[in-house]
Structure formats: C-alpha cells, structure tokens
Structure 1
Amino acid sequence: MADDALFTPPPTEPRSSMRTPLLIGGGVVLLAVVLMLIFGHHKVQAPTTVAPLDSYAANLPLSGIEMSEATSPFAGGRSTYIDGKITNTGTRTITGVTVQTIFRSDDGQTVSLQTVPLMLIRTRIPYVDTQPISVAPIAPGATAEFRLIFEGLPQSWNQQQPELHITSVQSK
C-alpha cells in the first residue's frame, strides 16, 4: 500500500489560477497600446499667424534670392526652391535658422504660410545637396548659400517671391 502512494498523480490545481493573471496582464498591455495610439500622435499644427522675428535676425541678411521649380514624375507634384545667400554680420556662430515663408495670391492674400529650416547647400554637382546649418555652422562674418524647399504650393499663389522672415536662430 505504501507503494501506491508513490505512484499516485499529484493533486491538480484549477487551471483558472493562471488564467486570471494572464487576462489581467493582456488587458493592461492592450489598454497601454490604445492610450499610446490616442495620445501619442498629436499632429503639429501649421502656424496660421506671422511669427515675430528673432532678435538676432537683423544680423542675418538674406541676398541673391532666386526661385526655381521642378516637377517630380515619381511624386506627381511640384517642388519650389528658393536659393540665396545668408551672411552672419553679428558676433555669434549660427547653428540653426528657421524661416517663416509667406506666399501670397494676386490680391495680396496669404495663401500659404510655411515654417521651414534653412538648409545650407553642400554641393551643386551633379545635383544640389543640402545639409543642416549645424553640420557647418556660420561663423561671424561668413556667408553661406542656402536652399528652402516647398512642396505642393497652392495654385492661387501669384508665383512672386514670397516674404521670408527669420523667426528662430540657434547659436553657440
């Protein structure tokens, strides 16, 4: 009889004891994913008003402004480029510039207000390649070529040079 006790199966625990923690854990993970989807994707609103100029903007005159346009057969859209030169007449080394650009219609109404980073032209051959100012900061007294790139401007734009406002300057 003692041998029978050695070969009896152990008492089984109810399966529901493991099911409850797994269900609770799964519910917590699902809730976390839903909350991240709801609150994690805030769309950045485009500015609807003209931003004030940065206090250092007077030290960064823009010159030699030229516009060009390209049609992309792959993207099916039109790209507008604004090239020019920026000169640092101040005393700080510039590591970043943000430009607010105002495109107007024939009657002077604002049809597009876009804020973009000013990118420096790194090379022109075999094509124009740009880089952030932080890669090649603009020292006091230096001049650099830049490019602003815009996609999908409205048809109501009058095709004239837009207003360019330096609204943010980063320096070291």
Structure 2
Amino acid sequence: MSTGPQLIRTAEPRERNWLPLAIAAAVVLAVAAIAVFVVEHGRSKPTVAPINAAADPYAANLPITNLVLSESANLAGGKVTYVDGHIANKGSQTVTGISVQVLFRDPAHEVAQNETQPLKLIRTREPYVDLQSVADAPLKPGDERDFRLIFDPVTQDWDGAYPELRILHVQTR
C-alpha cells in the first residue's frame, strides 16, 4: 500500500563561518601594505639644494656640453624626462662622484623645480641605455663620457626650455 509522495526533509541551512575569510583578507592587506612600504622606502627621493648653493671648486674642470632633452611615457601614463649630455675631465684628479643640481624654470624664468641628483654615466646604448655611477667608472684626467639624468615627473609649470645644470659636489682621488 502506497502512502503517496514522500516529503524529504532538507537540512537546516548552516550559518557561514566568516572567520577564515576575514583572516585571509587581513593577511592580503598586510602583505600589500608591507609591499607598498618597501617600494616607497626604497625609492630615492629627490634632494633639494638651495638655488644659490656654491658650485664645487673642481666643477670648473668638468665642462658639460651637448645637452639633449627627450621624453617617454611611463607605465603609469605619465612622462619621464631625460637630460643627456657629455662631460669631460679637464683637471688633474680622478673623479669618483658628481652631484648635479638641475633647475627647471617656468615661463616667468622663476625656478619651477629644483632637484639634485648623482650624475649617471651611459655605459651602453644598445640594446637599451644602461647607466652606471661615476664611482663604478671613474673619470680620469682627460676622460670624456656621455651621461643621463632622469626626471619622473617634471612639474607642469616647466617652460620646456633646457634646464640649468650646476655641479655642486665632486668626489676625487
């Protein structure tokens, strides 16, 4: 004898345990915060010297010539500005370090951006431009080398003219 359709009792819905999901989210946030801190801490901040800072006495022996400006887009959609040039050591000492002050001016010829950074020498141009510090390739008396300075970003107030370069500090041996 059949009693008809049987009703199957469904299991009561269980309450979701949110603890593992909350722990995973906290771990992901902590790892992201540590990564941002490490990247920002490792990034060199531009230094600023006073506009009227005295040039190094040996700077007269290091003429800078053949300046060329260029730009490229970075992965974040901004622009990177390159200042390439040529430097010669006309003095009697070997140069192991050079700090250059770079002044970008606005249309009123006021300083719009003031940065001081170490001069980087161009080691190779092919297949890409590779840079090295002056300490890694010292400039002996009579040596001449190409260099590159990189600015990411340059202020929007810049008038687009060649910046003023001043050698503030020279290390010699």
Q: TM (normalized to structure 1)?
A: 0.71
Determine if contact 1:51/1:100 at 8 Å carries over to the other structure: no
Answer whether contact 1:104 1:158 (CA < 8 A) is retained.
Answer: yes
Residue 149 of structure 1 is matched in structure 2 by 150
**CA shift digits 1:109-134 (9 cap, x unpaired):** 11000001100001101111100011
8 Å contact 1:96–1:117 — kept in the other structure? yes
| 1:45 positional shift | 6.2
How far off is 1:76 after superposition? 2.8
In the alignment, structure 1 residue 92 sits paired with structure 2 residue 99: no
Alignment RMSD (CA, Å): 1.5
Q: What residue is the counterpart of 2:68 in the other structure?
A: 66
Q: Sequence identity, in percent?
A: 45
**Alignment-mate amino acid for residue 157 of structure 2:** S
Cα distance between partner residues in 2 of 1:117 and 1:111? 20
Task: Please give the TM-score of this superposition, normalised by the length of structure 2.
Answer: 0.71
Q: Which consecutive segments of 4 or more residues in structure 1 shift more than 4 A?
A: none
Output the amino acid matched with 1:59: N
Counterpart contact for 2:49–2:101, Cα < 8 Å: no
**Cα distance in 2 between the residues matched to 1:45 and 1:134:** 19
Stretches of structure 2 that go unaligned for 5 or more consecutive residues are 1-44
In structure 2, what is the Cα distance between the partners aligned to 1:147 and 1:57?
A: 18
**Within 1, Cα distance between the matches of 2:170 and 2:88?**
13
In structure 2, the residue matched to 1:57 is 59
Q: What are structure 1's unaligned runs of at least 5 residues?
A: 1-42
On the 8 A contact 2:47/2:115 being kept in 1, the answer is no
- Distance in structure 2 (CA, Å) of the matches to 1:76 and 1:44: 21
Q: Is the 8 A contact 1:77 1:152 kept in 2?
A: yes
